[in-house]
Homo-oligomer: A and B are copies of this chain.
Amino acid sequence: MSNPVPYELYYWPGIQGRGELIRLAFEEAGTPYVDVARQPEALGGGVKALMRFIKGDGAGTLPFAPPFLKVGELVIAQTANILAFLAPRLGLVPADEPSRLRANQLMLTIMDLLVEVHDVHHPIASSLYYEDQKQEALRRAPLFLGERVPKFLGYLERLLARDGHLVSDAVSYVDLAAFQVVAGLRYAFPKAMAGLEPRIPLVSALHARVASRPNVAAYVASARRLPFNEHGLFRSYPELDVAPG
C-alpha cells in the first residue's frame, strides 16, 4: 500500500496569521500535515520553499499569497477556499449543501473581519511600518473597536442565539475560526474585549468550548502553536486598545 498523499501547508513560519485557521483544522481533526516553511531549509523547508510557488516556479495554480496548500498535484490558495476543500475531508463540516454554503458564508465574513483587524494597525499601506502610520491607526482603532468588532461579533451572537450553533451542533471549521478570532482580539485589545464580552456571552462560551476540546487544548499548549506577536494580524499595541465610549 502506498502512503496517502500528505497535506503540505505553506505559510509564513513566524506568525499565526491566516495560516492558523488551517493549522487549527488539522489539529482538531488529528490529521497529520507538514507546515513546510517551518521545516529546515536543508529538508526542503523554510521561506524559500514558499517563495518558489509565489514566484511561479511550482506546478498547479499560482497563488497570490500564503497560505496555500499542496495536496498531490493540487495547489490551493485563499484561506476560505482551502478550508472549504479540507473541511469535508477532515470531518469539520456537515455533508449537505446548505450547511456547506452556510459555513463558507460565515468563514468569508470572519475573513472580512480579519482584513479589518490587520488594517487597524496598517490603515495606509501594508508596505509601511506601523510607526509610519500610527497617527492614522490611532484614529481608526476606536471606530474599529466601537463599531466594527461589536457588529461582527454581535452577528455571530445573533446566529448562536437564533440557531443554537454557527453551522451545526458538531464542531466545524467555522467554530475553530471563531475561537481564533476571540483569542486574537483578547490578545490585541484586552480592555476593549473586557468591555464587549458581557454583551456576547454565547460567543465567549463558544470560545471556551473550543478551547477545551482535547486536540485544540493540546495544540495550544504545544510548541507547534506559535505565540501571538507584533508581526501577525493580532498585535498588542496598548495605545490602540481604547475602550469604546
A123 adjacent to chain B (CB < 8 Å) = yes
A139 adjacent to chain B (CB < 8 Å) = yes
A195 adjacent to chain B (CB < 8 Å) = no
In the assembled complex, which residues on chain B have CB atoms less than 8 Å from the CB atom of A108?
78, 80-81, 108
A223 to B77, CA, bound (A): 37
Stretch at the interface among A34-42, A155-163, A212-220: A155-163
In the assembled complex, which residues on chain B have CB atoms less than 8 Å from the CB atom of A159?
62
Would you call B124 and A64 a contact (CB within 8 A)?
Answer: no
Would you call A125 and B147 a contact (CB within 8 A)?
Answer: yes
In the assembled complex, which residues on chain B have CB atoms less than 8 Å from the CB atom of A30?
none
Would you call A56 and B143 a contact (CB within 8 A)?
Answer: no
- Partner of A119 from the list B63, B80, B119, B158 (CB cut-off 8 Å) is B119
Would you call A61 and B104 a contact (CB within 8 A)?
Answer: no
Would you call A143 and B158 a contact (CB within 8 A)?
Answer: no
A140 adjacent to chain B (CB < 8 Å) = yes
Would you call A147 and B127 a contact (CB within 8 A)?
Answer: yes
User: How many monomers of this chain does the complex have?
Assistant: 2
The A interface is mostly helix, strand or loop, or mixed, namely: helix
Would you call B123 and A62 a contact (CB within 8 A)?
Answer: no
Q: Min CB distance, A237 to chain B, in Å?
A: 17
Q: Min CB distance, A121 to chain B, in Å?
A: 13
Would you call B101 and A81 a contact (CB within 8 A)?
Answer: yes
A115 adjacent to chain B (CB < 8 Å) = yes
A108 to B81, CA, bound (A): 8
Taken residue by residue from 133 to 158, chain A's Cβ proximity to chain B (1 for < 8 Å, 0 otherwise) reads as 00010011001100110001001001
A residues lining the B interface (CB < 8 Å): 56, 61-64, 74, 76-78, 80-81, 84-85, 98, 101-102, 104-105, 108-109, 112, 115, 119, 123-125, 127-128, 136, 139-140, 143-144, 147-148, 152, 155, 158-159, 162
